[in-house]
Structure 1
Amino acid sequence: MDATGRIEQIIAPSIESMGYEIVRVQMTGAQRPVLQIMAERTDGGPMTVEDCADISRSVSALLDVEDPIASAYTLEVSSPGIDRPLTRRRDFERFAGFEAKLETRMAIDGRKRFKGRLKGLEDDDVLIDTEQGPARVPMETIQRAKLVLTDELIRASGGQG
């Protein structure tokens, strides 16, 4: 298990008991690493600065005890935002019907980038309608995926659009 997987394993139970769900744990930077934790409320409500502060305090306490990161690091807690990353199986189901961009680790049908309307999941494949036609992208090949900011997405998230 990589470092971010271990960190997620340490913090997830506490975060979930507080009423939040982890969207992504990511470590960036070499000189002074930044641990980025993206979370959302399980009740579907908007994340506030106070929510992020609560998560930050809890995560800091847990990581001080477990100490999974050898060097000094900066902790950043944020909400996923409207054009959020898609990291879990249920994200691809929940946001079916919206525009998304997928990037794969290896070429699928001769390409690594897919942009189009999500159609959900079938087995372990993400279904997406692109300008080049429908595509099936195996989940395990996805390196990055995120929603595309559109007026439709803004309206669906409670904005004006």
Structure 2
Amino acid sequence: MKQIVDPILEANHFDLSNIEFVKEGGSWYLRVYIDKPGGITLNECVMVSEALSEKLDAMDPDPIPQAYFLEVSSPGAERPLKTDQDFNNAVGEYIHISLFQKLNGKKVFEGTLKALDEDTLTLELKDKARRFDQAFDRKTIANARLAIEF
């Protein structure tokens, strides 16, 4: 599906955040999450949805033979971070990570993503008295997403 969506996004300078094909409540949904610096507008989602719908309808054989609903949207304010590009785009942003196993008695951390490389992600964390950097082995991270700082 990515190879079908990518040309539409590239022509409009949008990024693909995620694609999912899921069954919910007896119906199938093809969800395409798109983004760009500064965020995606509703009109841009509609434009991509229409272009993708036309492209899928014209394909023979049909790449998705069963009935489904097509949804194109922004990944949202607390979007998941999955790819290296997602993490690179999030440097300087406040993020939430969950670990597979506890580190210093905790599995969940939130802080500003300061740096990353192939193996390590560094967050600036704060506690009641200070700010400090904490490095995490990327293999230990179960989930990551942007977060809203309160």
TM-fit CA distance, 1:148? 1.0
Cα pair distance change 1:142/1:16, threshold 3 Å: farther
Distance 1:115 1:35 in 2: 31
C-alpha root-mean-square deviation of aligned residues, in Å?
A: 2.8
Partner secondary structure for residue 63 of structure 1: helix
Q: Deviations over 1:59-102 (max 9, x none)?
A: 11233316333421111111233333323313323322322112
2: CA distance, partners of 1:20 / 1:137: 30
Tell me by how many angstroms 1:137 deviates. 3.5
Conserved 8 A contact 1:92-1:126:
no
**Match of 1:22, SS?**
strand
- Bigger fraction of residues in helix: 1
Equivalent residue pairs, number: 141
Q: Does 1:54 align with 2:53?
A: no
Aligned residue number for residue 79 of structure 1: 74
Alignment gaps of 5+ in structure 2: 128-132
Distance 1:67 1:101, change over 3 A: farther
Q: Which residues of structure 1 form unaligned runs of 5+? A: 1-6, 152-161
Q: CA deviation at 1:46?
A: 4.3
The alignment's TM-score, normalised by the length of structure 2, stands at 0.73
User: 2:143 is matched by which residue type in structure 1?
Assistant: R
Larger strand share, 1 or 2: 2
Q: CA deviation at 1:114?
A: 3.3
Percent pairwise identity:
30
Aligned to 2:97: 102
SS at match of 1:85: coil
Aligned to 1:90: 85
Larger Rg: 2
Is 1:8 the equivalent of 2:2? yes
Contact 1:83 1:148 (C-alpha < 8 Å) held by counterparts: yes
